[in-house]
């Protein structure tokens, strides 16, 4: 009786070893398949061209100009608000001037910057600034 039990446990042990080997093989094949896919992605990403130095220069110029225009617009708004507060304080010297709400006059320029290529598909050049415009309102 003990001999049959020993044979049964050895068969179960061999079956468990086979199952473990099959599972390890399956996991290894899946890992290889995944790594091959990553390899193809890495090759494809190396194939995509980097922006040329001209495009990088254009983007840098756009960022510089947009930053300048935004800072200038903010500076104009600050000057407009401070001059309005000074005028209000001069008109009503006995009242405390804290914050006011007003509509900005039409002479305030609001600049908007768009990305590298405009919707028409043309690229900007260094001689003109097609990506910046003034809002007429």
Q: Where are the domains of the chain?
A: 1-48, 49-95+108-114+129-137
Give the C-alpha distances (Å, rounded to integers) separating 108 from 34, 72, 86, 97. Answer: 58, 11, 18, 23
Kindly give the parts of the chain with pLDDT less than 50: 99-104, 106, 115-118, 124-137
In this prediction, residue 38 carries a pLDDT of: 78
Tokens of 61: 């110029």
The answer to whether the predicted template modeling score (pTM) of the entire model surpasses 0.75 is no
What pLDDT sits at residue 63?
93
Residues 113 and 134: beta-carbon distance below 8 Å: no
Helix (H, G, I), strand (E, B) or coil at 131: coil
pLDDT in tens, 65-105: 999 999 999 999 999 988 888 787 777 766 655 544 444 45
């Amino acid at each position: 009786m003990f001999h049959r039990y020993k044979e049964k446990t050895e068969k179960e042990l061999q079956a468990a070893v086979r199952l473990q080997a099959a599972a390890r093989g399956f996991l290894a094949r899946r890992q290889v398949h995944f790594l091959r896919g990553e390899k193809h992605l890495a090759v494809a990403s190396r194939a995509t061209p980097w922006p040329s130095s001209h495009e990088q220069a254009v983007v840098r110029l756009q960022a510089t100009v947009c930053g300048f225009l935004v800072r200038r617009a903010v500076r104009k708004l600050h000057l407009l608000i401070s001059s309005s507060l000074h005028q209000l304080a001069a008109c009503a010297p006995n009242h405390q001037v804290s914050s006011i709400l007003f509509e900005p006059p039409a002479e305030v320029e609001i600049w908007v910057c768009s990305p590298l290529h405009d919707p028409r598909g043309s690229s900007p050049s260094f001689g003109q600034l097609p990506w910046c415009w003034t809002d007429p309102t």
